[in-house]
Amino acid sequence: MNYKYSMFWTAALGGAMALSMVGCKSDAEKAATSDNSSTSTNASSSGSGGKRPTPTGKGNSQSGDTIKLGVVASVTGDLKPWGDDSYYGAKLAIDEFNTAGGLNGKKIELLMEDSASKPEAAKTAGEKLMGEGVLGVLGEVSSGNTEQIARPAFDKGIPVIAIGATKTTLTDIGANVWRVCYTDDFQGPVMARFAYEDQGIRKAAIITDKKQPYSQGLSESFKQYFLKLGGEIVSEVSYQTGDTQFQAQLTELKSTNPQGIFMSGYFPEVGPLAAQARAAGITAKFFGGDGWDSSAILQSGGDAIIGSYFCNHYNNKEARPEVKMFLDKFKAKYGKEPSTTMAALGYDAALVAIDALKRCKTLDSASLIQEIENVDKLQGVSGEITLKGHNGNPPKRALVVEIRPASEGFQVFKKAYDYFESK
Amino acid sequence: MAVDHLFAAGVNFGSLPAQVVNGILIGSLYALIALGYTMVYGVLRLINFAHGEVYMLGAYTALFVSWLIYGNQVAPVHTFWWALPTMLLASMTVSALVGVILERFAYRPLRNEPRIASLITAIGLSLLLQFGGQLFLPVAPPPNINAKVNPYSDSMTFYLKPPAKPLADKASSLEAEATATEKAYNEALSGVPSGEEPGPTVTALRNNYFEARNAYEEAKGAAANSGVSVTIPKGQLIMFVVTMFLMAILRHLVMFTKQGRAMRAVSHDFDSASLMGINVNSTVTFTFILGSALAGAGAMMSATFISGVKIDTFYGLLPGVKAFVAAVLGGIGNIPGAVLGGLLMGVAESLVIWVGWGDYKDAVAFLILIGVLMFRPGGLLGSAKVEKV
Amino acid sequence: MSFWIRRLASIALAVGGCFLIDWFAKENLKDFIVRLVVLAALYITLAVSLNLINGITGQFSIGHAAFYQVGAYAAGLATVTFYKSQPLGLALWIPLMMLVGGVTASVAGLVVGLPSLRLRGDYLAIVTLGFGEIIRIVTQNLKVVGAASGMAVEPKMSTPMIWLAWLLAITSIAVCRNLLQTAHGLGFLAVREDEIASSAMGVNVTRTKVAAFVLGSAFAGMAGGFLAHYEGFLIPTMFTMDVSFIILTMVVLGGSGSVTGSVIAAILLSTLPEFLRDIQQISMAGLVAAAISIIAGVVAVRYVSQHVHTPSTRRIAYPGAIIGSIILTVVLSKVLAFIPTLANASTDGSRIRLVIFAVTLVVLMLVRPQGLLGHREFGWGSLRRSEA
């Protein structure tokens, strides 16, 4: 072989590559891309007003005796307690509907796929369900996982009802995505209001988990609203998921004398963070988001975390009739109370799907998308849900709960906030 | 304000001593783990990537022993004075055992293969223990050693410069008012039936209390900031003392015992040492025992004295990587180098937070390392030997 | 003339093959298998390019995901910034962006390659690892690329351009394979074997090492550029140390230095775990049985290779150990099922994925440190035995 020419193979291949690409460009594709590029302009607008891109795909349709719905749940991995509950909740609502006769005799079949608490696996799980012909997908409990389900669903034209995904920009993906929970844009302001109005905090510090998009977004929304109320943010420090020692950050924070500290991370880090803050002589009150919603925080935070406040979707001790009915049914079916709020939200997500299905004229994804968008004043366990005209983000209420020792029930209802405009 | 803000970013020189102390406390843990890396590298020229997982298993051992001792309910710790030493010994023993097993069954068979084979085995073992451990160990929700197992959760404050007298007086004068208004508010609040919105009188009392409290906190903070102080959590101090004690023992073992001398000889020249009648295998085992036991001790202390940290199978990943960087920074294979590297890494980390670049904390550690290696390819105390051809 | 005809025919075959895969996958396969077909192509590119640095040039790099990430983010950022203000269609724009990703990553490769002039082995390893972490942490904090929340790459490809991914994979294979037949390419091998000797023989060691880093990272960057437009979404956690280790596993499993080996290992390791995800539950009895059998197999192979010198026994050692292990697993899992604690306990199938990676690495190193193929290559020449 002549070595001199062997590199030629490569160069020619490159040339052929370029040529073949030119050949591939078509008008139809160009039109599609210019369509897509318009999405990025309104991707930044959230809340009412902006128009979300319409999904391109045709979706699935069904003609058999059953109506297939899918649910992606983190039934293994880090999010297991929440993922299990979300599935139990959705299953409860669907079974109830089927026992009551279903939709003109047709039963709903709920297919479940595990996401193992990981975004990549969530994507595969979602695609698998969509390939099996489900009309719509319920789930997930975290924003990162939901995002990976919602994007392919947009391409395919299949509706997604998120259960516990609070990331604000999530629903900008397209007009096929809704959620039944509030957004980080709301829970941040709720905690800001609670801290400012109810606890008299004027100088606050923020501790962010830089590795978590959830934490970054939540910190930002808390900060904006707290400033708007007239408060002062005296210090912002950060850490990363998995860090264990926070003395250096807390030393800096302490010298700015905050009266309250907003910790937007998840409970495994918040516990030690609170304990170390108390040990460092910080006496400020602690506030947080729904990432604290696990009784494990009592173990890791010890006495330091008792008396802190966080924002949640729902509380088992609320006096509303929906809550009592839901708890009774849940206990009858599974023999225990739900351990996280995701059971109620999963139940509500299924209620939204059922409510929309009842109004569907034809059993296909396109009309399901249309009817989910028309859900109006639905009484869910976690509060009233209105999806109509809100770009997928229902104006939900939020609760502030106080952390008490396990003997007093871990979360004690403190104050409820109805939806308010936080921009 | 008495604090001098010299830099635009608001660098606070009042907290510099505290940050240096924080750095040394964190760094001593890195140093303890780094010793394991460096000793193994010294004798085998092998980066034991699974060292972080030896550390992780040490933390799990401490967790299990604490469960054995206390069960699920947490008894007052003082009745079991032997609990903490037992946990420490158990962690050291288990870690040492794991280290020896890894060496005997994974590294020794590969000793005559190219070094890259052992290195990849080490990476494989590390992944195996991280992900395989998830199958057998409790991981979700992440367990932690109950905060109450640590009797030393409070802290001590030392003043290098006492707070200004007038400010301190002002703070204590405001304290009485804050307490009084709080009491008044709470009394009024207890009169309100639950579920009802408090009336205007209560709200007024509440606002009074908030004002008084905020004024007091403000004055207290101003007083504290007018002095220069160092706050040390007692648990961390104990950790530091134990770490120094263990390092002293290590130094004695390495410098003044027969095994230690053999270790140094093997480290100097593996082949010649074996020709001189040194039992190389037992020396390597001895090295693994020492390094892994130190990691186990570090794991038990960090899991216990840093209250409430979650333990999962990735518990050793971050400290492992940082300790490894510390070992390379000091010059891998060099025992004082590992200690120096660990302390430097700890101090660098807290100083990065001090100047306000905390977001880039972990990146800076690597940046320092790369910078040092550019100018001293063998690390700070290591010698840049050209490898044999 | 026959040379040109053969070249053109191979190119036509390669390009045609890519479109065939594309057509076949889109017509016949389910979406999630199409995804695997694309990912396999990307992993082939990554493994082959890391093989160039690690296996062929002998520079121990364990941070390959960093170049992948640099390419992905550079391409993604360029698309987000410039796509709307230019006339090209997406089908031309994406390959162009892959080149942008490749060039940016090769600059990063140059930055990492330079320290490799002074550092060796373990020190270089930690520098590449550190570089990967630095890149990840910087992107995690940079607002312009969406920090930890990630960046949406708009527009992304409307249907997966499978042919493009495979064209990239085949190009990377062709480059590496043909490079090894040039004098320069032999220089890469010489540097791996002995730096001092090769420099004495007139190989420019410095240039060779840097070239390996630049070329290897360029391909990783192009794969990243593809990924950005394929996923339409980038987030720093897509590029953690695990990814680097997985690519490294592929190189080592296939046999350091063997391009063919890297390709086979990349296809195996990128698709196999996805097929395993259908296993929802694994019983502990089976797991323990498998662990014991693997250990037994390893011990047996090592014993044979060290103490047995009968050629016939040595020849059947590997197949014997593999078959024996499988039989032992089946038998043991039945026996262990009698122990109630093991029979009733089970674990999630999804957790087993990376365990398989890890076990593969360790077992392979213990029984066959040179990898599946060693340094061997597959080629038509080796079938006909006429070409050197």
Tokens of C104: 């940016």
Q: H-helix or E-strand containing C279? A: none
The alpha-carbon gap from C140 to the nearest alpha carbon of chain B, in Å, equals 9
Averaged pLDDT for residues C314-338: 82
- For C118-136, give one letter per residue: b (16+ CB within 10 A) or e: ebbbbbbbbbbbbbbbbbb
H helices present in chain C, as ranges: 2-28, 31-51, 64-82, 90-113, 121-141, 162-179, 183-193, 195-200, 205-231, 241-254, 259-276, 284-307, 311-315, 317-336, 340-344, 352-367, 380-384
Instruction: Tell whether B359 is within 8 A of chain C (Cβ).
Output: yes
On the question of pLDDT at B186 being above 90, the answer is: no
First vs last C-alpha separation in chain A: 71
Taking only the tens place, the pLDDT of each residue in B275-296 is 998 999 999 999 999 999 999 9
What CATH class is the domain B13-154+232-375?
mainly alpha
Nearest-5° angle of CA A84, CA A90, CA A94?
A: 140
CA atoms within 13 A on the CB side of C172: 33
| Residue where a domain stops, chosen among C274, C297, C317 | C274
Chains in contact with A, counting 3 or more C-beta pairs less than 8 Å apart as contact: B, C
Q: Tell me whether B56 touches chain C (CB under 8 Å).
A: no
Q: What is the mean pLDDT of residues B132-143?
A: 81
Residues of A in contact with B350 (CB under 8 A): 247-248, 251
pLDDT at residue A360 tops 80: yes
CATH number for the domain that contains residue C64: 1.10.3470
Beta bridge partners of A416: A399
Residues C100 and C210 in one domain: yes
Out of A47-51, A215-219, B9-13, the most confident range is A215-219
* A135 three-state secondary structure: coil
Percent residues over pLDDT 90 in chain C: 20
Specify the pLDDT at position C381. 53
Q: Span C266-288, mean pLDDT?
A: 75
> Residue holding tokens 């007009």?
A175
**pLDDT at residue B77 above 60?**
no
Is A332 a residue whose pLDDT tops 60?
A: yes
Q: Is the link from the previous residue into C155 a cis peptide, with omega within 30 of 0?
A: yes
Q: Are residues C268 and C300 in the same domain?
A: no
Residue at C384 is within a domain: no
The rounded percent of chain B whose pLDDT value lies above 70 is 93
By three-state DSSP, how is residue A338 classified?
coil
The complex scores an ipTM of 0.85
Does C300 reside within a domain?
yes
Which of B110, B130, B377 lies nearest to residue C123, judging by beta carbons? Answer: B377
Residue B128 has pLDDT above 80, yes or no: yes
Mean per-residue pLDDT, A246-251: 91
Residues C106, C111, C113: CA angle, nearest 5 degrees: 85
Q: Identify whether residues C310 and C217 lie together within a single domain.
A: no
Distance between CA A327 and CA A319 in Å, rounded? 12
Neighbours of chain C (3+ CB pairs under 8 A): A, B
How large is the average pLDDT for residues A271-280?
90
Domains of chain A, CATH where assigned:
66-182+319-392 (3.40.50.2300), 185-312+401-417 (3.40.50.2300)
Q: How many residues would you count in chain B?
A: 389
Each residue of C183-232: pLDDT tens digit? 888 888 888 888 888 888 888 888 888 899 999 999 999 999 999 999 88
Cα C19 to Cα B86, C26, C32, C264, distances in angstroms = 66, 10, 19, 21
d(CA A208, CA A215): 6
The predicted structure's pLDDT at residue A99: 92
Q: Is residue C254 part of a domain?
A: no
Say what the pLDDT of residue A23 is: 35
Peptide bond before residue B141 is cis, with ω within 30 degrees of 0: yes
Average pLDDT over residues A2-23: 42
Instruction: Let me know: does B342 contact B34? Beta carbons within 8 Å.
Output: yes
Instruction: Return the HEC string of C363-378.
Output: HHHHHCCCCCCCCCCC
Q: Which helix (H) or strand (E) holds A188?
A: helix A184-193
> In this structure, are C69 and C218 located in the same domain?
yes
Q: Indicate whether A20 pLDDT > 60.
A: no
Check CB contact under 8 Å for B124 and C360. Answer: yes
- Token output for C294: 């693997």
Residue A378 Cα, gap to closest chain C Cα (Å): 31
B194 pLDDT more than 70:
no
Task: Check CB contact under 8 Å for B118 and C302.
Answer: no
Q: What is the pLDDT of residue A337?
A: 85
- Per-residue confidence (pLDDT) for residue C59, from 0 to 100: 85
Tell me whether B322 touches chain A (CB under 8 Å): no
Q: Does position C387 have pLDDT exceeding 50, yes or no?
A: no
B105 or C26, which is more confident: B105
A173-222 residue pLDDT tens? 899 999 999 998 899 999 999 999 889 999 999 999 988 888 988 999 99
Between A9 and C48, the more confident residue is C48
C-beta separation of C221 from C68 below 8 A: yes
Task: Nearest chain B residue to A203 by CA: give it.
Answer: B214
- The full 3-state SS of chain B, as one line of letters, equals CCCCECCCCCCEHHHHHHHHHHHHHHHHHHHHHHHHHHHHHHHHCCCCCCHHHHHHHHHHHHHHHHHHHHCCCCCCHHHCCCHHHHHHHHHHHHHHHHHHHHHHHHHHHHCCCCHHHHHHHHHHHHHHHHHHHHHHCCCCCCCCCCHHHCCCCCEEEEEEECCCHHHHHHHHHHHHHHHHHHHHHHHHHHCCCCCCCCCHHHHHHHHHHHHHHHHHHHHHHHHHHHCEEEEEEHHHHHHHHHHHHHHHHHHHHHHHCHHHHHHHHHHHCHHHHHHCCCCHHHHHHHHHHHHHHHHHHHHHHHHHHCCCCCCCCCCCHHHHHHHHHHHHHHCCCCHHHHHHHHHHHHHHHHHHHHCCCHHHHHHHHHHHHHHHHHHCCCCCCCCCCCCCC
What is the rounded average pLDDT of the residues B325-331?
88
First to last CA, chain C: 20
Q: If you average pLDDT over every residue of chain C, what do you get?
A: 83
**CA-closest candidate to residue A353, choices A124, A116, A73, A67:** A67
- Tokens 């995505």, located at residue: A177
Q: What is the pLDDT of residue A56?
A: 78
Interface subset of B 293-312, CB within 8 angstroms of A: 302, 306-310
Are C233 and C147 part of one and the same domain?
A: yes
Is A83 a residue whose pLDDT tops 50?
yes
Cα-based distances in Å from A376 to A217, A295, A388, A422, B103: 28, 34, 6, 22, 66
Closest CA to C293 of C249, C319, C323, C337: C323
Above 80 in pLDDT, residue B17?
yes
Among residues B82, B31, B3, which one has the least CA distance to residue B294?
B31
Looking at the domain assignment, is residue C79 inside a domain? yes
How much is the pLDDT for C226? 95
pLDDT-above-90 percentage for chain A: 44
- pLDDT, residue C27, reads 81
Which chains neighbour B (Cβ–Cβ under 8 Å, 3 or more pairs)? A, C
For residue A337, cis peptide bond before it (omega within 30 degrees of 0): no
Domain range summary for chain B, segments of one domain joined by +: 13-154+232-375, 163-226
Mean pLDDT, range A135-139, rounded to an integer: 92
Q: Note whether residue C316 is domain-resident.
A: yes
Asked if B131 has any chain C CB less than 8 Å from its own CB, the reply is: yes
Instruction: Select from B192, B190, B191, B188 the least CA-distant residue to B180.
Output: B188
Residue in B125, B127, B370 closest to C127 by CB: B370
Q: Select the residue of C12, C84, C92 nearest A37 (Cβ to Cβ).
A: C84
Tell me the per-residue pLDDT of B25-68, one tens digit each, with 9 for 90 and over. 999 999 999 999 999 988 888 889 899 999 999 999 999 998 88
Residue-range definition of the domain harbouring residue C364 = 281-373
Report the distance separating Cα A250 and Cα A238, nearest Å: 10
Which of A242, A259, A279 lies closest to B233 in CB terms?
Answer: A279
DSSP code for A106: B
Residue C382 lies in a domain: no
User: In this structure, are C114 and C215 located in the same domain?
Assistant: yes
What digits encode the pLDDT tens for the residues C145-180?
A: 888 778 888 888 878 888 999 999 999 999 988 888
When pLDDT is averaged across residues C6-25 and rounded to a whole number, the result is 86
Same domain for C223 and C269?
A: yes
**For residue C205, which residues of chain B lie inside 8 Å, CB to CB?**
none
Res C380: pLDDT: 55
User: Residues 77 to 116 of B: which have CB under 8 A from any A CB?
Assistant: none
Residue C308 binned pLDDT confidence (cut-offs 50, 70, 90): confident
- Would the pLDDT of A24 be above 90? no
- Domain shared by C73 and C36, yes or no: yes
Whether residue B24 has pLDDT greater than 90:
yes
- Do residues C267 and C318 both lie within one domain? no
Mean pLDDT of B85-97: 96
Q: Are C269 and C246 in contact (CB under 8 A)?
A: yes
Query: Do C267 and C119 belong together in one domain?
Result: yes
Residues 6+ apart with CB under 8 A from B78: B151
CB contact under 8 A, B387 and C355: no
Query: Which pLDDT band holds residue C346 (cuts at 50, 70, 90)?
Result: low
Query: Considering the domain boundaries, does residue C247 fall inside one?
Result: no
Structural domain includes residue C386: no
Distance CA C198, CA A237 (A): 52
pLDDT at B81 over 60: yes
Q: How far is C116 from chain B (nearest CA, A)?
A: 10
Structural domains counted in chain C: 2
Q: Which residue has the higher pLDDT, B151 or A222?
A: A222
